[in-house]
Amino acid sequence: MMKHLNGKTVIVTGGTRGIGRAISLALAECGANVYALYARNRKNAETIEKEAEKRGLNIRTIRGDLAHEESYQQVLGQLEEVCNHIDILVHSAASGVHRNSMELSDRQLKWTFEINFFAVHRLTRDLVGKMGKGSRIIGITSPGGTRVIPSYAAVGSTKGALEALFRHYAFELAPLGIGVNLVSPGLVMTDAAEALPELGKMLNMTLDYTPSGKLTTPDDVAMLVKFLTTDAASQIIGQTIVIDGGKTLLA
């Protein structure tokens, strides 16, 4: 097993469920000390802690809602305490309101941006001083950042904004040896996906239009993120890498 992250420090937001959970486990398997951040669900945190212990992996969970100032400062304080340096920062946490654009209130849109955009920027800005040459920042985006998905106006807007912001991160941080990229999975079956309206219909359509004939899994996404942390990926800078079985090839 490749242990290219031995002794490295990794932070994964949303790191105890869905895609984030798969990423936390995959990077821990590479020898990293992983800090998996989560907002609320203690049960998910306990589950990944137990699995890590059983498999001899170094995963610690830190609870805190990054969209709330007091809670954010507590999480930041804990990270400052335990991390002298940070090698990989993965932004996987996301949430939001599923409504058509004209049904969105200001409050709902602001809340979605607070979680999916402002918390990402705040954490990156506050932690980048602990990152050096060879470090990586990886964000998880969505086809909804550039295309229309029904009832996805709020989340899609945050993902489009995130992609623009990450281009600037990549340009500004590359001279410091910090590689920045985004990963864009298609529809992945997670708890978050189950909250989508008309999920069954979307699943059938996704499968019909996916050339590979199968859905992308959290583990598929985690393997791509793992590759982006290797030396082989050092010249991949500022890209949004799509992993969707070819679905977005079709008009």
DSSP states of 98-165:
---GGG--HHHHHHHHIIIIIHHHHHHHHHGGG--TT-EEEEE--GGGTS--TT-HHHHHHHHHHHHH
Q: Are the C-beta atoms of residues 184 and 92 closer than 8 Å to each other?
A: no
Q: Kindly state the DSSP code that residue 248 receives in the 8-state scheme.
A: G
CA distance 80 to 155: 30
Q: Both tokens of residue 213?
A: 């004939």
Which amino acid type is present at position 233?
A: A
Q: How far apart are CA 195 and CA 175, in angstroms?
A: 40
The pLDDT score that the predictor gives to residue 242 is 98
Is the model's pLDDT at 1 over the cut of 60? no
pLDDT score of 201: 78
For residue 194, what pLDDT is reported? Answer: 66
Q: Which residue has the higher pLDDT, 186 or 212?
A: 212
Q: How many Å apart are CA 88 and CA 75, to the nearest integer? A: 17
When the pLDDT of each residue in the chain is averaged and rounded to a whole number, the result is 95
Which tens digit of pLDDT belongs to each residue from 65-86?
999 999 999 999 999 999 999 9
Portion of the chain with pLDDT greater than 70, in percent: 96
Query: Catalytic site residue 214?
Result: no
Distance CA 128, CA 138 (A): 13
Annotated catalytic residue within 159, 169, 226, 247: 159
Average pLDDT over residues 19-47: 97
Q: What H or E segment, with its residue span, contains residue 69?
A: helix 69-82
139 near 182, Cβ under 8 Å? yes
pLDDT of residue 190: 72
CA distance 113 to 206: 26
Q: Is 85 exposed, middle or buried (0-12, 13-18, 19+ CB in 10 A)?
A: exposed
User: Residue 251: which pLDDT band, with cuts at 50, 70 and 90?
Assistant: confident
Residue 193 confidence (pLDDT): 61
Which of 38, 152, 226, 247 does the annotation list as catalytic? 152
pLDDT-derived band at 121 (thresholds 50, 70, 90) equals very high
pLDDT at residue 192, as a whole number: 64
Q: Which helix (H) or strand (E) holds 38?
A: strand 33-38
Q: Which residue has the tokens 């306990």?
A: 46
Q: For the chain, what percent of residues have pLDDT higher than 90?
A: 88
Two tokens at 186? 């298609």
CA dihedral 139, 147, 202, 188 (to 10 degrees): -10
Domains of the chain (ranges; CATH) run 9-242 (3.40.50.720)
Place of tokens 């859905």: 215
Q: Is 152 a catalytic residue?
A: yes
User: pLDDT tens-digit profile of 194-244?
Assistant: 666 667 777 888 889 999 999 999 999 999 999 999 999 999 999 999 999
Q: Can you give the pLDDT at residue 74?
A: 98
